[in-house]
Amino acid sequence: MPQTSWKDMLAKYSDTIISCTLTDEEMAKEFDDGYGGSEGASFTAWSKEWVYFPVVYDGAEWIGRAPRDICDHSCGHVGGE
């Protein structure tokens, strides 16, 4: 199965993380993000403009984000429909 890490997933956002509840080593730990059971560790990470967090639906995992400050950005539903 393909492996990924939260660090790899966060890279697509090209954002600088200024604080995270996991260590760099924990963020780099690889896991299978496919369907089945969730394997990635729980975390919250903050950048200057966004708050990042894990999302899971049917075991498939990815990263969600929400604005850090009050603004007019609407977040979509998290998970599947």
Please state the domain extents for the chain. 6-67
pLDDT at residue 58 is higher than 70: yes
pLDDT tens string 12-52: 998 899 999 999 999 999 999 888 888 999 999 999 999 99
Q: How far apart are CA 43 and CA 31, in angstroms?
A: 14
Looking up tokens 């929400």 gives 66
